[in-house]
Structure 1
């Protein structure tokens, strides 16, 4: 007989996969507890034993999708960079790896967040994480003494936050047909030109 904790993990995984499919295929409005239970092949009672509300399910779904995409591991590559001038390139490489794969779930939540408290709570968590990450990048630039003196750390963080938005992603990849590689390299180049102080020139020998 399968151990109870193994069955519980399997049920939870099935619920999250069903929730993900519903959002991808039908948008956030399709994410009802009844539809999730049916899609996962579980009873509503079993569903509520794992997630006491749709809010709890939405928060768990965000974590689940981030895990599937590998956001934490991708972000760790950014923070492992030791040279401050190389940090922006790795930051935008991280966005190119992850943001396109988060787009559908995030957009589904955005569309209804003003009318749905569950969606609003979820989106606030996303924004808090984005702001913290952007600020961390900007601080690293300042600490490495490569941030142009015309920018404060907070102003630089604001710009980075704007550039990682899904509006930018959809415009460039969707409407303008940029590849993920072009998205990465061109945004890196633009951010470097805007935010970084000129590299010190190497003095020539006699």
Structure 2
């Protein structure tokens, strides 16, 4: 908090007036990044989709394309989360927002009656949320050398195969 206050040109006490805990500061920082990078505009196609499949594809594109832009923050928060409850809270806050998007896509699939019959909405949300994890993006793009385009294409195909009922 001292380093942040110094960089902002304010006292540590002034910083604590706005953010009583580091967790609140970290959550605010991640939400600020979402605002600056206009996450709502990125999600507009998903939210406006007229079918469950369209919503699924648009959400994967929006989130998958956003991961590279927030990767640095995600690395920092994940590195701290085991020893820092506030960093863990900030990371969990952001991942719950992603989970909410996954749930919305799954609900749209269920409403269209194209969700696999053997999956309930909670299990389908779990699968999609796990498939779209930052860690999976890291393994495929960073470790395996996939292009961003290949990542998004393959993850979309996997999600469709995992969630959609076969015709």
Q: Distance in 2 between matches of 1:85 and 1:63?
A: 28
Q: Which residue, 117, 130, 133 being the options, matches 1:162?
A: 130
Q: Which residue, 1, 20, 24 being the options, matches 1:56?
A: 24
Pairwise CA distance, 1:52: 2.7
Any stretches of 5+ residues in structure 2 without a counterpart? none
Within-5 A mapping of 1:74-153: 74-153=42-121
User: In structure 1, what is the equivalent of residue 149 of structure 2?
Assistant: 181
SS at match of 2:119: coil
Q: Distance in 1 between matches of 2:56 and 2:96?
A: 20
TM-score for the superposition, normalised by structure 1? 0.74
TM-score for the superposition, normalised by structure 2? 0.90
Pairwise CA distance, 1:162: 0.4
Q: Report which stretch shifted further, 41-50 or 63-72.
A: 41-50
Q: Distance in 2 between matches of 1:143 and 1:179?
A: 33
Q: Which residue, 37, 41, 48 being the options, matches 1:73?
A: 41
Pairwise CA distance, 1:131: 2.4
Contact conserved, 1:172 with 1:183, CA < 8 A, in 2? yes
Q: Which one has more relative contact order, counting CA pairs under 8 Å at least 6 apart?
A: 2
Q: 1:98-129 deviations in whole A, cap 9, x for unaligned? A: 11111111221112212112112212212322
Pairwise CA distance, 1:37: 1.9
Contact conserved, 1:96 with 1:181, CA < 8 A, in 2? no
Q: Distance in 2 between matches of 1:48 and 1:91?
A: 36
Q: 1:116-166 deviations in whole A, cap 9, x for unaligned? A: 121122122123222222222111101011112122211111110101111
Contact conserved, 1:139 with 1:153, CA < 8 A, in 2? yes
Q: Distance in 1 between matches of 2:116 and 2:24?
A: 42
Q: Distance in 2 between matches of 1:161 and 1:74?
A: 18
Based on CA coordinates, which of the two structures has the bigger radius of gyration? 1
Count of matched residue positions in the alignment of Structure 1 and Structure 2: 167
